[in-house]
């Protein structure tokens, strides 16, 4: 509602994760984009270069988990 009144919105959360932003967009939250400062961008590129990118790993389901057997 503060965007409609012309006021600058208060930042509640700041993230570089597209999946986190998507989760908030699925809810009732206003998600805005902004340019990342060059110093932060350089730090993130160096960090990912050293440690690699975090990959989301899907867990294996246990046999029979989440299914109704009817037995």
Residue carrying the six token digits 């919105």: 9
Q: Do 31 and 25 contact (CB within 8 A), yes or no?
A: yes
What whole-number distance in Å separates Cα of residue 12 and Cα of residue 14?
7
User: What pLDDT is recorded for position 40?
Assistant: 92
User: What pLDDT is recorded for position 2?
Assistant: 52
Q: Is pLDDT larger for residue 41 or for residue 68? A: 41
pLDDT (tens digit, 9 = 90+) per residue, 1-57? Answer: 456 677 877 888 888 888 888 898 898 888 888 889 999 999 999 999 998 887 766
Whole-Å CA distances, 33 to 4, 8, 25, 39, 43 = 17, 14, 12, 17, 19
């Amino acid at each position: 509602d503060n965007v409609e009144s012309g006021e600058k919105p208060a930042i509640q959360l700041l993230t570089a994760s597209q999946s986190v932003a998507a989760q908030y967009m699925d809810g009732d939250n206003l998600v805005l984009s902004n340019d990342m400062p060059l110093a932060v961008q350089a730090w993130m590129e160096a960090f990912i270069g050293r440690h690699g990118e975090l990959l989301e790993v899907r867990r294996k389901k246990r046999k029979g988990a989440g299914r109704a057997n009817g037995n």
